[in-house]
Amino acid sequence: MKRLHLLAHAKLNLVLRVVGRREDGYHLLQSLFCAIDLADEIELAAIPRGIELEASPELGPPEGNLAYRAAQALLGADGPGVRIVLRKRIPVGAGLGGGSSDAAAVLAGLNLLYRLGKSQAELMQLGARLGADVPFFLGRSPAWVEGIGERLTPVALPVPFVFLVAVPPFACPTAEVYRMYDVLGIPPSPTGPPPHVPPFPNDLWPATVALRPELREFRRRLEALPSRGVGMTGSGSALFAAFSSWEEAAAAREALPLPPGARAFVAAPVGAGYKFPG
C-alpha cells in the first residue's frame, strides 16, 4: 500500500486590512500571511475506492472536514480512494488556518501519491473553491493576499525570527466576527502595498474584542512582555508576539501567565504551507 506523510503548517496574519465588501457580502481583504512551523500531521494511504478519515471526534463528522472534502474534490466519485489520518496540532477556531492547511496538504499529497500531474495553479483553483485561505497554503510564504484570498503575491519582506503564539480557551467563529465588524460600522481601510512589520495591525480586532471582551486582558498579558510587537491572527482568537531569538521567545513563554485552558507555542516562520518530512 502506498503511503505519504505530510506536515500542514499554521499561518499568522501579520497584517490584516478590510478594504471593502463585494455585492455578495464577502469582505475584501489585504493581508500579509506568514506560515509557521506549528503543524498538523497528515498521513495518506492509497485504497481502491472511497475516502476514509481518521481524526478526533471533536472535529465533527468526516464529510464536513476540509481534508475529506479536498480529497473528494480532487479524486472525484470514480477515482481511486484514500485513507486520511489527521493528527491535529493546530488549535481550531483560533485564526491559524488549520482546516485550510489540511485541505492544501491533502491536495498536494494526493497529486504526488497518484501522480495526477496537476499544476500548482490548478490545485490553487480547486483549493479556492474549498476555502479562501487554501490557495495560500499551496504556495510560498510570506505572501501578500488580496480580494477574498484568491490573489496571492509572494513577497520578500523581512518577518520576525520567531513568534510566541498564545491561544485562549475559547474560539472566535469567523462569521460572527465579520458580522460584528459590520454592526460596528467600521470604515474600510485604504488599499496599499505590503507594509513592513511590526507593527501588526488587524482591522478585525475591534469586532473580535467586542464579541469576546476577555481577549483584551489576554492581550495585555502579551503586551507586558518585552517583544517586538503583538498582533492577532485572522479573526482570532489566537494572538502572537514577535521576538528576535528563540531564547527570548522561550523566556517569554515561561513568563506569560496563562488562564486555565489556554495554550502557548513558540513557532518560527517557514517558507511554504506544507512539507513532506524527510
Residues marked active site are found at: 11, 133
Cα three-residue angle 16-214-247, rounded to 5 degrees = 65
Q: Which one-letter amino acid corresponds to residue 14?
A: L
d(CA 198, CA 94): 21
Cis peptide bond prior to 198, omega within 30° of 0:
yes
State whether the Cα torsion 137-138-142-145 is positive or negative. negative
Instruction: State the Cα–Cα distance between residues 126 and 143, nearest whole angstrom.
Output: 19
SS3 content of the chain, % helix, strand, coil (to 5): 30, 30, 40
Q: For the chain, state the CA radius of gyration.
A: 18
226 preceded by cis ω (within 30°)?
no
Give dist(CA 127, CA 71) in Å, integer: 11
Nearest to 30 by CA among 44, 55, 13, 49: 13
Beta bridge partners of 232: 239
